[in-house]
Structure 1
Amino acid sequence: MNPKSHNISQDRNSQDRNEEPEIQVAIAILSRQSKFLLQLRDNIPNIIHPGCWALFGGHLEPGEDSEQGLKRELLEEIGYAPPVVNLFGTYPRPGVIRYVYHAELSVDIDDLKLGEGWDMAWVSVEDIQTGECYSAIAKQVRPIAFPHQQILLEFVHMGIGYFRSSVLG
């Protein structure tokens, strides 16, 4: 499968017109047995998507490529980085470029250590479709961050790997 492509140089040219520089982030679709590992972001008003479920990942450091940045962020956030990640797509939006990777998570959730965020959980395709998921730690249903929900819906719709046969029929 070829990752979604986009002419990033076109986006970078916008910086020459005195617009805000783009933030570059790398995020991971971590899956296992038709479920996705998501992070419940801290409920702090000054962060992006506070109190929402989101994909793991974060901002790239200057000079860092997206795969290196993703693995660094995963080590910081869950203490583990899959040995192999595959670029699923690049999602440019005004002010931000999201590099989205996919990896099968081969370790148990109990072997991960949440270093950032409020909670983490396996989220089903049905949860993604409804746009919300229950958090045992928050003891409430919390929304899935809209851009992350859209990326996950596209991933499932495209029938990546086992989703074509086991989820989409």
Structure 2
Amino acid sequence: MFGAGIIFINSNNQILLLLRDDLPNIPFPNQWDIPGGKIEENETPQAAIRREMKEELGLDNLSDFKLFKIYKSENLTDFIFWKHFDLNIDQIILNEGQKIQYFSLDETRKMKLAFNYNQVIEDFFKEIVNK
């Protein structure tokens, strides 16, 4: 399976996380996650991020995001992108998930993120933010 996620980081060095729906039929229900989703057949990872951000957050024509890293495990290849973005979360109408919120690195260290994204966030801060 192939997935794509995006780390939005604001000017306070906080990252945007999405609280997943609390449905028993989805992976990691009711856990915080970076926005993103599954890459569909014949879709590039970049196109998947644009589509997912339109579906989840209502963001049209997302651009100027960069590839951070590709993470591979036995059943998932995950393309992780990032973008500096001071999103006004009060103006977002979520189409998926329960809510979105910005968190500091220290706050994320006290959470168990979906899909083991804690390591991704640690890597991101080490390699991009605190470089």
Aligned mate of 2:119, from 150, 154, 157: 150
Match of 1:93 in 2: 73
Shift of 1:93: 0.7
Measure the CA separation in 1 of the matches of 2:118 and 2:130.
Answer: 18
Aligned AA (1:97): T
Match of 2:19 in 1: 40
- Tell me, yes or no, if structure 1 residue 164 matches structure 2 residue 125: no
Measure the CA separation in 1 of the matches of 2:117 and 2:70.
Answer: 13
Shift of 1:106: 3.8
- Tell me, yes or no, if structure 1 residue 25 matches structure 2 residue 3: yes
Is the 1:39–1:56 contact (alpha carbons within 8 Å) kept by the matching residues of 2?
yes
Measure the CA separation in 2 of the matches of 1:72 and 1:119.
Answer: 19
Deviation per CA, 1:49-76: give whole Å up to 9, x if none: 1110000000111100000001100110
Q: How does 1:117-128 map to 2 (within 5 A)?
A: 117-128=97-108
Measure the CA separation in 1 of the matches of 2:53 and 2:125.
Answer: 22
Measure the CA separation in 1 of the matches of 2:98 and 2:88.
Answer: 19
Which has the bigger relative contact order, CA under 8 A and spacing at least 6?
A: 2
Measure the CA separation in 2 of the matches of 1:149 and 1:50.
Answer: 16
Counterpart of 1:43 in 2: which secondary structure? Answer: coil
Shift of 1:110: 2.1
Deviation per CA, 1:66-107: give whole Å up to 9, x if none: 000011001100011532110001011111110000011143
Measure the CA separation in 2 of the matches of 1:107 and 1:38.
Answer: 12
Instruction: Give the structure-2-normalised TM-score.
Output: 0.91
Match of 2:63 in 1: 83
Measure the CA separation in 2 of the matches of 1:43 and 1:76.
Answer: 18
Between the two proteins, the alignment pairs up a number of residues equal to 129
Larger-gyration structure (1/2)? 1
Measure the CA separation in 2 of the matches of 1:125 and 1:83.
Answer: 25
* Cα RMSD after superposing both structures: 1.5
Percent identity between matched residues is 27
Gaps of 5+ in 1: 1-22, 133-142
Gaps of 5+ in 2: none
